[in-house]
Amino acid sequence: MKLIFATRPSALARWQTQWVIAALKAAHHGLVCEEKVITTQGDRILDKPLPEIGGKGLFTQELESELLSNAVHCAVHSLKDLPVENPAGLTIGCIPARAEMRDALVSQSGCTLATLPAGASVGTSSLRRAAQILAARPDLVTQSLRGNVDTRLRKALEGQYDAIILAGAGLTRLGLDKHVTEWLPLEVMLPAPGQGALAVQCRADDESTLSLLAALEDDSTRKAVTAERQFLLGLGGGCAVPVAAYAQTVDRGRQTVILLTGLVISPDGKKAVQVTGQGTDAIQLGSELAQQSIAQGASDILKLVTDN
């Protein structure tokens, strides 16, 4: 059996794809895998902030096209980059165990978020991160930061920004977490839905590939990220809106309970709606908390983004 994987050209995307390939080969003796490198729109356009060039599918559409044309069997994504609704004919074949979900601050001068001087520049490509930074430190200035993980890290270490915020999972996967100045606590920086998790996408009718991918599935991670992504879906949002969510699972007797926190925050950090809840059905829980947040004014906050 041979599997062909579509992957983006960045070091992180290649690492993630090669990790999945190695895990599958370990689980299935004799499996042959190869990579097909695809450059996405998000990889090509590096001179504009992410919200300006679109949200849904910015890093995934070209890979999904390869899947739908039968040119490849699988595509490995950072789950936080994957739109919450799969294109017709595609599915998430497996979600392995989640890695680091927190965001990390990197500062060449060694400052933490609390000790950055007033007016300091903080680089980020994410409205969600920028909004939470301004909620904690309204005296800071957020600036657009694009590029792959290694490019963004280099800009921070060269002092082009006083600090930058990156997803911790990318840094740990690439062995770059030694540069982390501060791991931001969830009370300060709630992650994007699905952050830290990988998703292996394939065709929904490709039963042989689905059976191979099942070896990497982590049920607890699947439940947690499904609740988070359902919260985002219930708000009608994509990757480019300031929505955060984080869920955990706990075993209580014979039941697995999902604990979910969701956040909708205005770009300036001044308005926020945060909701928490628990349940045993991930989709129902995510939907209910989305409706709770809408009832508390989340739609008005999101309108501030879509109107600008």
Instruction: Give 285-305 pLDDT, tens digit per residue.
Output: 999 999 999 999 999 998 888
Give the mean model confidence (pLDDT) for residues 215-227. 98
- At residue 86, the pLDDT reads 86
- At residue 219, the pLDDT reads 97
- Report residue 152: phi and psi, to 5°: -65, -40
**pTM across the whole model:** 0.92
Please state, in angstroms and as integers, the Cα–Cα distance from residue 43 to each residue in 38, 93, 141, 302, following that order: 9, 24, 25, 26
- At residue 225, the pLDDT reads 98
Is residue 232 a contact partner of residue 283, using CB atoms and an 8 Å limit? no
Is residue 90 over pLDDT 80? Answer: yes
Q: Which residues are catalytic?
A: 81
Is residue 162 a contact partner of residue 92, using CB atoms and an 8 Å limit? no
- At residue 53, the pLDDT reads 47
One-character DSSP codes across 51-99: GGG-STTTTTHHHHHHHHTTS-SEEEEEGGGS-SSPPTTEEEEE-PPP-
* CB-count exposure of residue 35 (10 Å: 0-12, 13-18, 19+): middle
Q: How far apart are CA 122 and CA 132, in angstroms?
A: 12
Average pLDDT of the chain is 92
Least reliable range by pLDDT among 19-23, 81-85, 133-137, 151-155: 81-85
Instruction: Find where tokens 């300031």 sit.
Output: 242
211: number of Cβ within 10 Å: 12
Give the mean model confidence (pLDDT) for residues 147-166. 94
Instruction: Give 24-61 pLDDT, tens digit per residue.
Output: 999 999 999 999 999 876 555 555 555 554 555 666 88
* CB-count exposure of residue 226 (10 Å: 0-12, 13-18, 19+): buried
Give the mean model confidence (pLDDT) for residues 152-157. 95
Instruction: Give 230-282 pLDDT, tens digit per residue.
Output: 999 999 866 567 999 999 999 988 899 999 999 999 999 999 999 999 999 99
205: number of Cβ within 10 Å: 10
Is residue 99 a contact partner of residue 233, using CB atoms and an 8 Å limit? no
Domains and CATH numbers, the chain: 2-96+198-217 (3.40.190.10), 103-183 (3.40.190.10), 224-306 (3.30.160.40)
Is residue 155 over pLDDT 90? Answer: yes
Top pLDDT among 299 and 135 is at 135
Which residues lie below 8 Å from residue 184, measured CB to CB, with a gap of 6+? 102, 103, 104, 105, 113, 165
Q: Which of 251, 260, 264 is nearest to 288 (CA)?
A: 260
